[in-house]
Chain A
Amino acid sequence: MKKEHKHVKSNKKYGMVIDLDKCTGCGACMVSCMAENNVPFKADESNKLDSITWMRVYKLTNDKPYPDTEICYLPRPCQHCEGQHEGHSPCVSVCPATATDYSMETGIVSQIYTRCFGCRYCMAACPYHARYFNWWDPVWPEGMEESLNPDVSVRMRGIVEKCSFCFHRYQRAMEKAHFEDRHELEENEYQTACTQACPSGAITFGDLNNESHAVYKLKKNPNAFRLLERLGTNPKIYYVSSREWVRLAGDNYRPDEKMTAKHKPAKHAPAKQH
């Protein structure tokens, strides 16, 4: 007897709302991400161009002279862009090896390490610098490989890696759900490592399409914005800031450039990034 396999069309779209008013720049998200995802480390990590940080916290300043200076921290995971139509993320559409893919089930942009042959086209296409290339073989000094997480494969030289929204945690949660004969997850069953670690509760993660998830409401905050929205990348990371200069910094307008009505401030002050 053949069991009828019913395909349940999932309309999930996982995303985040990061409250920049709450973020203190402590870096717990960065470290938690590294520990969870077996991110490698080298003797010198001060060149941030080759330092692999799936989650990176940027420091923004309003660049006003003392004492009117202000600082804002901005955590940047992969933005898991949806693109103009579902799945048309900048990186996915350029990958010649189908090593990065858009999941129609969850909206997560994946990175399949064994398929990647390191052309780095995706890195060039990503406007958020969210992708990193393994220029060297990762080395865990003797004994340190003990803390590696078996749920995440260790990457090797010559391939690109990035934030996966801790997809292995989704798999783990789904496995458990299936075992209990469920097809849907509770909101708290699947949370990323950075969300869990944030001591200030600045990161909220969930299904942007699910009305009962916190992110659904939070993203509608009038102070919510996304990074480089005008590029049409349609990212799934929303940021909230009560400060106008921070919201403006999200779209990188040149001082001589005209702004859309939505972003037009009384007087433009470009933000500096460190």
Chain B
Amino acid sequence: MKIDRRSFLSLGIGAGAGIALTPLPWKLADDSSIWTQMWPWTPVPARGEATYVNSACSLCPGSCGISVRKIDERAVKIEGMEGHPVNDGGVCPIGIAGLQLLYGQTRVKTPLKRVGKRGEGKWQKISWDEAISEVSSNLAELRKSGNPQSLACISGSGRYGTVSGLFQRFMTAFGSPNFMSVPSFVDGYSMALKQMHGIDSIPGFDFENSDFILSFGSGIIDGWGAPVRMFKANANMKGKIVQIEPRLSNTAAKADKWIPIKPGTEAALALGLAHVIIKKSLYNKDFISKHSFGFDDMTGTDGKKVKGFKSLVMEKYTPASVARITDTSAEMIEELAVSFAKASSPLAVCGRGKGTAQGSLDEYIAVHALNALLGRVNTKGGVWAVEQPNYISWPYPDMDKIAEKGFASARIDGAGTDEFPLAGQLAHRFVNAVADAGRKEIPVEALLIEGANPLHQFSDTKAVKKAFSKIKFIASFSSYMDDSAQFADIILPNHCYLERYEDIPAPAGLQKPVIGISRPVVAPKYNTLHSGDAIIRIAKALGDKIESSFSWDSYEACLQATFREAWSKLDSVGFLINQKYGAPGWDQFETESKLFEFISSADGAKTGRDKDEIVNIADIEGKGDKKYNLTLISYDSIRLASGSVGNTPFMIKAVADTILKENDIFVEINPKTAKDAGVKEGAKAVLTTPKGSANVRVHLFEGIVPGVIAMPRGLGHTGDDKYLSGKGVNVHDLIGPVEDPASGLDAAWGIRAKLAKA
């Protein structure tokens, strides 16, 4: 057949039309779009049986119950546990993102021994036997040289629980008093309760039954206390919330009223309110006359007149003078005091931001006194001195002579000594004692770090690093390669919190005694070991009487033995709660006077306080230095994890671009301040404080007191992965501790600073 032009064209057109009429082109287009999307590197999650495992979250002191959805052996989603006394089904972003810690890139997968220089990141994989004997042989040296007290331990696990309990027990049996937990507002508040109520207790706040919450900077919905419980309390609040804070935080924005105040003057404002309440006779006369001590003037045993709380407040804290101190107005103070006092169930709270700083004792005393003035202590809808969890009833550890001698020596941080009799622990003093020590007299030779990240969490990180550099041997028990683990000599990785058992008592700020239990959601993924087991094995390896103090075969055996018959209930229900626990009442004061004490009836030396002053407002570093014309404060956000773990990839995604842009952190300043400093929105600038300087960007925000710079807390990690590491600045690099002379607590709430165009 001859193909001429005509037949060629008609055949071609015909074929074209024919094909176009078939589904072929559409099928091909569809197929190509399907096949170009089926790349081998795009994961296809495996199907399987769906189940839920209940556990407890230990990523913050909130201790929420969680319910984890699993597909076969994979954990795929964390949800809140329904019916849990802390969070009842609610959950926070940090908690939801927890699987990214479990499966994340930061896990330490096997015991590691440092081979390069400290912090260089060169590690050698070792076995658990080697790791345990490495630690025990290093520690044995200390006892051999008769210096067991030169061992220190920083614990970040839930206080009063068995894990921190085992570490504390190990320290005691070893012969060192130098055990400390990560600082918290609970340190300061408990100290105030010890002084005013006379008992060792923890503060519990009955928000659910209050109709007027006056918050002195507490981040009620920024992560304070048990965050999810606070979110719920805030959402269900029938009454009013008033937020006193220099910055329009989320809490301030959601409150019924925001009272911007000069940073650091909260205690004075509390006493100004007390002044008005006393002047207008709005205080609770029944409580004051029958259950309190030190309200009116008294005559001391030596016949001298001693001023009472009333006189001190009336003399020094008039609304006019307080307005001057706090940069507010006398009318506002009068008005606020009256509306607060007239509420049926008012409650004042304190502990700035998430409550991760100790704060000054004065502030807790001032705010607690304000509560007491209205009879709001140990009562429904008020603040309670809640009993400390005391379910651990292990026999006191056996101690040999070396241990007894070492344990009897004074703590390196001075807590519990004559200087600071009420303090339990003073981390910043510990850091400084080591950092400032001469080469021959370094008080700490070995350090155990458990559940904490002091190189990021503690203030003045430069000093912390200096101190750590002087310590010969640092062992980290971290599950993750965090800032502190990177700086250790040996890492004994704990199971991730979703792979292990652990009791988690006393959710922060809760008024009811609750014990939660972390249960293994999945089997340990890597060659890790429960820190409880690790410390038991170290104790056994050390032999002597230390071994006999740790008679348990394993951590789990210890945990079950601790709870005895309550264990099966705890393990199956997920928590234990004393439902009957109610407001302790006004007959529960164990002070010398058996009353609530506005002014301590004990002698001044014992409490370390000057009776002529109620509060000494601590100055911050750099005050009076003209070079620093601004004040730097840190702020907390629930979208920034700032405890022992940092943000996971999902969490970092949820951070706004006005907080982090690429690797640059933004500081917030008032447009007025920006104008004075000559910087515009988004501009790069250098922020300098007496502790150091950092490159930042500027975000103009009308919701901040002029003259104040606010920096978010939780960024600037050196450890971890590419999703977090190197992003932003750690505000603790720029702020250092300020010692409260009365209590020894770290009272820092900010630092003087300056801002210059970059």
Contacts and interface: CB of A to CB of B under 8 A. Distances in A.
A46 B660 contact: yes
Contact of A154 (B42, B96, B721): B42
Interface in A129-165: 137-141, 143-150, 154, 156-159
Interface stretch (A31-39, A207-215, A217-225, A260-268): A31-39
B656 A274 contact: yes
B37 A41 contact: no
Interface stretch (A4-12, A112-120, A229-237): A112-120
A71 B661 contact: no
Interface in B221-246: 221, 227-228, 231-232, 234-235
Contacts of B653: 30-31, 34, 41, 45, 51, 53
A254 interface: no
Interface stretch (A77-85, A103-111, A193-201): A193-201
Contacts of B45: 38, 145, 148-150, 154
A179 interface: no
Contact of A148 (B30, B43, B254, B655): B43
Contact of B99 (A35, A43, A71, A97): A35
A44 interface: yes
A46 B43 contact: no
B91 interface: yes
Contacts of B253: 70-72
Contact of A137 (B39, B78, B89, B652): B39
Contacts of A65: 671, 702
A28 B662 CA distance: 23
Interface in B88-129: 89-93, 96-97, 99-100, 102-105
Given A67-B260, A156-B42, A146 B103 contact: yes
Contact of A159 (B37, B78, B228, B670): B37
A156 B39 contact: yes
A66 B703 contact: yes
A199 B91 contact: yes
A34 B650 contact: yes
Contact of A44 (B74, B525, B662): B662
B102 to A, nearest CB: 8
Contacts of A143: 103-105, 525
A178 interface: no
A43 B228 contact: no
A144 B98 CA distance: 12
B99 A147 contact: yes
Given A137-B39, A199-B87, A22 B78 contact: no
B207 to A, nearest CB: 14
A5 to B, nearest CB: 26
B581 interface: no
A141 B105 contact: yes
Nearest to B64: A199
B645 to A, nearest CB: 14
A24 B255 CA distance: 10
Most-contacted residue by chain B among A36, A72, A159 (CB, 10 A): A36
Contacts, number: 191
Contact of A26 (B231, B260, B655, B661): B231
Given A31-B651, A64-B702, A144-B103, A69 B248 contact: yes
B77 interface: yes
B304 to A, nearest CB: 46
A169 B310 CA distance: 62
A150 B723 CA distance: 24
A198 to B, nearest CB: 8
B392 interface: no
Contact of B96 (A32, A70, A73): A32
A134 to B, nearest CB: 10
Which residue, B77, B248, B705, has most C-beta atoms of chain A within 10 A? B77
Contact of B703 (A31, A34, A69): A69
B458 interface: no
B93 A27 contact: yes
Interface string A246-262: 00000000000000000
A48 interface: yes
B654 A31 contact: yes
B8 to A, nearest CB: 34
A200 B232 contact: yes
A156 B104 contact: no
A5 B650 CA distance: 45
Nearest to B703: A69
A46 B660 CA distance: 6
A158 B657 contact: no
Chain B CB count within 10 A is highest, among A38, A53, A274, for A274
Contacts of A202: 235
Interface string B695-737: 0000001111110000000000000011100000000000000
Contacts of B660: 46
A170 B583 CA distance: 45
A187 interface: no
A66 B661 contact: no
A274 B651 CA distance: 18
A149 B650 CA distance: 15
Given A41-B723, A199-B232, A66 B71 contact: no
Contact of B46 (A25, A150, A274): A150
B250 interface: yes
Nearest to B699: A274
Given A27-B93, A30-B653, A71-B248, A154 B723 contact: no
Nearest to B90: A199
Residue with the highest number of chain A CB atoms closer than 10 Å, among B41, B76, B80, B104 = B76
B584 interface: no
A63 interface: yes
A28 B722 contact: no
Contacts of B654: 27, 30-31, 53, 57
A183 interface: no
B96 A31 contact: yes
Contacts of B104: 141, 143-144
B580 interface: no
Contact of A196 (B33, B79, B234, B656): B79
B42 A137 contact: yes
B720 to A, nearest CB: 12
A159 B77 CA distance: 25
A69 B252 CA distance: 11
Contacts of A93: none
B638 interface: yes
A114 to B, nearest CB: 5
Pick the most buried of A27, A116, A200: most chain B CB atoms within 10 A of its CB.
Answer: A27
B96 A66 contact: no
A71 B250 contact: yes
Contacts of A69: 248, 701-703
A158 B38 CA distance: 12
A146 B74 contact: yes
A243 to B, nearest CB: 11
15 contacts: A26-B639, A27-B638, A27-B639, A28-B91, A30-B654, A35-B96, A51-B653, A63-B702, A66-B703, A137-B41, A145-B43, A146-B75, A147-B99, A148-B45, A200-B221
Q: Which 3 A-B pairs have the closest CB atoms?
A: A148-B45, A199-B90, A199-B231
Interface of B: 30, 33-34, 36-37, 39, 41-48, 71, 74-80, 87, 89-93, 96-97, 99-100, 102-105, 221, 227-228, 231-232, 234-235, 248, 250, 253-254, 258, 260, 525, 638-639, 649-658, 660-662, 670-672, 701-706, 721-723
Interface of A: 22, 24-28, 30-32, 34-36, 38-39, 41, 43-48, 51, 53, 57, 59, 61, 63-67, 69-73, 97, 113-117, 137-141, 143-150, 154, 156-159, 193, 196-202, 274
Given A53-B653, A69-B703, A141-B721, 19 more contacts: A26-B250, A41-B652, A45-B652, A66-B260, A66-B703, A71-B250, A71-B703, A114-B37, A144-B100, A145-B45, A147-B74, A147-B99, A147-B103, A156-B39, A199-B231, A200-B232, A200-B235, A201-B235, A274-B656
